[in-house]
Amino acid sequence: MNFDPTTLLLTSLCGYAAGATAGLLFVRHQRLTNLFSFGAAALAGIFGTASAIMFLAVPGAESAPVVELLASSIPGMHLEVQLDPLGAFFLLIVSLLGFTLSVYSIGYARGFFGR
């Protein structure tokens, strides 16, 4: 598998989407929802952090390739992702916060089971 920053960023985005989907699928099973949703978000935070660190570690990196996430039937409208140094810095901050909050929330949400 190719571990470049763009691939890790896309894996991170898929992890967040999988966590949100798991929360909807297991809505009747609180323990499974808690484990899968926050676990997927924690893994996505790890991948996002790795992506930002790998991008920022390359000296003189201006930007990564553009990746189109969603094609649109409307001309000129596309959902694209591209890392640049400022975006990688904010990705690092958000991913670190997302990881720590997800790990903390696994235990915190247990207090609300059955309510």
What are the extents of the domains in the chain? 5-112
Q: Please list, in sequence order, all residues whose beta carbon lies within 8 angstroms of the beta carbon of residue 56, skipping any fewer than 6 positions away.
A: 85, 88, 89, 92
CA 58 to each of CA 53, 62, 87, 113: distance values in angstroms, whole numbers, following the listed order: 9, 9, 14, 45
Least-confidence region, from 13-17, 23-27, 29-33, 76-80: 76-80
Count of other CB atoms within 10 angstroms of residue 90:
10
CA distance 100 to 83: 23
What integer pLDDT is reported at residue 77 of this predicted model? 79
Mean pLDDT score of the chain = 87
pLDDT digits (tens, 9 = 90+) for 90-111: 999 999 999 999 999 988 888 7
Mean pLDDT of 34-52: 94
Q: Are 82 and 62 in contact (CB under 8 A)?
A: no
Go through the chain and tell me how many residues it has: 115
